[in-house]
Structure 1
Amino acid sequence: MPFSRIVELQSAEFTSRAAVAGVDLPLEQSEAWDRYDEAVDGRDPYGRYIWQVDGEDRAFLSLTSFKGAGFYYLWAKHGPVWTTIPTAQEEEHFHTDLAKVLKKERKYAFVRLHAHHTSSRLHDLLQSVPFDRTVILDLTMDSEELMASMKKRGRRDVRKSLRNEDLTAQEETANALEIFDELYELLKETGDRDGFGISPKSSYTTMLESLGGEHARVFTVRGKENEIYCWGIVTVNGPLATYYYAASSAEGRRAGAPDLLVWFMSETLRDSGVKTFDLMGIDSERAPQLAGVRGFKTKFSEETTDVDGAWDLPLHRTRYQALKLALKGKRAAVAKVRDFKSSRSGSPDESEATPAKADES
């Protein structure tokens, strides 16, 4: 059996060894993300590790410490990052080695990470909805090739939006904080319309401030009267970009502004050296709650991409089972209150009817 071990590294060496291995680190696995973790209450950078097999670096992992409601856990968002796709046996060995290292600090009940293969050791997330399928645009293609790679409906909608002279797409990263009150109002409208919850405004502004314009870029489409019709926050780390947050008005949707926004962002990102643009999650068997975004995102590509989903790996099984039981009881209590309100009003309580959204923390 090969010899394997987990090795903790300082950030600079972690980054340099990933580069030597030819690994492109997602932003959440990079040193830049530490600034965001440090700026958010209840979160802190925890450590960076590599998994070695017979002395060769095989996987890279950056962990964040999270404080939940009465418990602590570790989160490797978009990690580990493998040098090549792992076998199921390799992942089992990795999970064993990682758990041995992390469970020594009894503070943490579990580690949340991504996995290519399912396993009896891995559990569905306690609360969040993970996605394991997405749409990724290949920005190594030129404009004509990118347009041709879209579905017919996508090409039609983008071309129509490009012909609309009332629409103006632009990057507004430099003044994003100054206009964020307006952006947030649009986000509230979007959440009310599409039935999802949004975070406090400070969550988004903290992200923009801590990551800076190199890693968090803001794009808008404005209408004829200069009103913002839609906007998006895109995170960037080297050749990788992700469509993190978005909002649009009803008027903007009717005018085709979101179609123009995706096209403009793709063109602008490619010009700055980005090679892949992840539209961040569509529905799958594991995440049916994301069905509402499928129609919009999939029209920009003929292909969907399966990605490693997130799972919980218990470090202390008894404590983790207790958390699951406590959460089950809490959900039952909420459902009981909701049913009681519904029976009295004759209609569902809208505040309890909001579906869960994909994990973005």
Structure 2
Amino acid sequence: MNNDQLEHLLIQVNKISISELEQKAACLGVNLPIEQTSAWADYQATIPGRSAWGCVELVRDGATIALLSLFDYETHGYHYLRSAHGPVWCVERDDALEAEALEALAAYIRKTDKKVVFCRLAVASEPASVEPVLSTRPYNQTVVIDLAGGTEEDILSRMKPRGRRDVRKALRESPAVCADETELALQSFEEHYDVMRETGERDGFVPAPCSDYEDMIRILGPEHCRVYAGRIDGRVVTWSIVTISGTRAVRYYGASLSETMRQHVTDKLVLFECVDLFQNKGCADYDMMGIGSDFAPELMGLNEFKTKFAKNGVVDVAPDRDLVVKKTFYRALCAAKKLRDRS
């Protein structure tokens, strides 16, 4: 994009601090995702290969239209930016506005940092400036549980019949004792991590090192991160790591032992979490974080479990896409990925 084209952009991109981002969001009544907060920035700064790139405000006609916090990822000899669940829109988004905003953002990044090849962020539409992500598994739907009322019956009343049946059965028959174990997990996460190891072997993934979960819990702190667990005879059989930002809770990670799955111990735990998050943590809704769809068929295996907790809870979200900054370099990365996929 040349200077003449830049002058015609109606959206201005301003660099701001993370504290300014949080203040502007608060003034505009916007509930930030946890990934767009200073607490998350502190956590990400501890992960090798990642560093805070900065925050920006997108302005049109003098009004803030979107905010985003960006992190620099260095991998395989190149750099890209990531803004998880950003931009955070402060006005009603439409495809034309989103396309214009992305064009302005790409021009700003291109001018500001010559190292950046692309920027991975949440994009609802499919403008010409973006491509499907080179890696990771993005999703465009999630399940959000409405926590209004905050009692077990309030939560159960809004579940699908299958969800109510499974949870009520667990309440009657499961010996699992559920509790907020944040303080215990801060002392040691090893017992919980053993459950994650088994979950990974069963579901075909390799979990992050135990220290990653411990760092997340410790750095985000109890205000923004809780650990819930279900135990049978004193042994952890299921657990969740839940993040909190404002009134939104998100089930970020979860694990369970295969031997107790038929007892619906995780169903019992989810209900416990919903009640506690409303009554003791001030949360209004609980995001189960991603399900399968035509966009993400590889995640369809999550739907049976997650969708039963809210009969009207399926929500469309903007999936991650790559905003291309250096076109030639990005095409080379795509070609290399195709070669790897064939081998």
CA distance in 2, matches of 1:13, 1:137: 30
TM-fit CA distance, 1:3: 3.5
CA distance in 2, matches of 1:179, 1:202: 10
Q: How far does the alpha carbon of each residue in 1:9-59 deviate from its partner, in whole angstroms, 9 at most, with x for none?
A: 122222111111111100101111111111110111111111111000111
Aligned to 2:189: 180
TM-fit CA distance, 1:281: 0.5
TM-fit CA distance, 1:331: 2.3
**2:148–2:154 contact (8 Å) kept in structure 1:** no
* AA of the residue aligned to 1:185: D
CA distance in 2, matches of 1:310, 1:84: 20
CA distance in 1, matches of 2:301, 2:9: 45
**1:49–1:61 contact (8 Å) kept in structure 2:** yes
- Which of 236, 239, 242 is equivalent to 2:247? 239
Aligned to 1:307: 317
CA distance in 2, matches of 1:2, 1:187: 48
* AA of the residue aligned to 2:339: G
**2:155–2:271 contact (8 Å) kept in structure 1:** no
Aligned to 2:5: none
TM-fit CA distance, 1:188: 1.1
**2:9–2:100 contact (8 Å) kept in structure 1:** no
RMSD of Structure 2 on Structure 1 (CA): 1.4
Q: How far does the alpha carbon of each residue in 1:236-277 deviate from its partner, in whole angstroms, 9 at most, with x for none?
A: 111111101111012221221100111011111111101111
State yes or no: 1:264 paired with 2:272. yes
Aligned to 2:258: 250
Aligned to 2:3: none
The percent identity for this pair of structures is 37
Point out where structure 1 has 5 or more consecutive residues left out of the alignment. 334-361
* AA of the residue aligned to 1:63: L
CA distance in 1, matches of 2:29, 2:126: 26
Provide the TM-score with structure 1 as the length reference. 0.89
State yes or no: 1:332 paired with 2:339. no
Q: How does 1:151-230 map to 2 (within 5 A)?
A: 151-164=160-173, 166-223=175-232, 225-230=233-238
The alignment of Structure 1 onto Structure 2 pairs a total of residues equal to 332
* AA of the residue aligned to 1:91: E
**2:174–2:263 contact (8 Å) kept in structure 1:** no
Change beyond 3 A, Cα 1:300–1:275 = same
Comparing 135-144 and 228-237, the one that deviates more: 135-144
Q: How does 1:1-361 map to 2 (within 5 A)?
A: 3-104=10-111, 105-143=113-151, 144-164=153-173, 166-223=175-232, 225-271=233-279, 272-303=281-312, 304-333=314-343
* AA of the residue aligned to 2:250: T
**1:218–1:231 contact (8 Å) kept in structure 2:** yes
CA distance in 1, matches of 2:150, 2:276: 12
CA distance in 2, matches of 1:177, 1:142: 27
CA distance in 1, matches of 2:41, 2:18: 10
Point out where structure 2 has 5 or more consecutive residues left out of the alignment. 1-7
TM-fit CA distance, 1:215: 1.2
